[in-house]
Amino acid sequence: MAIYGKTTQGGATDNIGGNGRIRANSGVFPENGTLNSISAWVDSVNPTTNRIIGMVYDSSGTLIAVSDASTTTHNSASVITLNVAGSISLVAGETYRIGVWGENNASRVYRDAGAAGDGNYLAAATWPTPPSPYAGSLASRDFSISLDYTAAATGVSLTAPDTVTHGTATTATGASLSTVTGMTL
């Protein structure tokens, strides 16, 4: 698995609870892959039970993934993992917005100061349905939110009836032959 985003605990917090408190980071994705989960550094201002969800939007603001709700009673900084169902493809060079949202006003996400426009916030949503398209405002924030993903395989791929054997004796059926240092295909 690979990770994209901010994985360290920020030094400050922003509220993510209740209606209108989605916080998100934007950035250009580095490689093709498949989304596994969203992680975030969060806590609560009191130990009530809070549900938190994560979401991913593409560059047009279209919602492409929503996590299951994680129930948490954290009253100190903790990393939560928000699982995403299905196979969501992520594309190299695409700008994604990765966000989190809490059920009530007790939820907070950690952050640091960021460059202008790194962060986003949305103040017009009704729990628990994330809006699509996303129409948030830019903020100079770097939220402690990341994606866990599986990078797409690169290089040679074989399909039956192709055969590859390592060593001096090589057999290839239905494949073009070429030589790679230490291995013949």
pLDDT over 60 at 156, yes or no: no
In terms of Cα–Cα distance, which of 142, 121, 141 is closest to 21? 121
d(C-alpha 142, C-alpha 164), whole Å: 47
- Tell me the C-alpha to C-alpha distance, in Å, between residue 114 and each of 29, 44, 133, 148: 18, 23, 24, 21
- pLDDT of 117 reads 83
> pLDDT for 61-105, tens place per residue?
999 999 998 877 667 888 999 999 999 999 999 999 999 998 887
Asked if the peptide bond before residue 133 counts as cis, ω within 30 degrees of 0, the response is yes
The predicted model gives 13-34 an average pLDDT of: 90
- Contact assessment for residue 28 and residue 22, using Cβ atoms and an 8 Å cutoff: no
- pLDDT of 170 reads 43
pLDDT over 80 at 155, yes or no: no
Q: How many CB atoms lie within 10 A of CB 104?
A: 18
pLDDT class of 47 with cuts at 50, 70, 90? low
- pLDDT of 178 reads 44
How many helices, marked H, and strands, marked E, lie in the chain? Answer: 0, 16
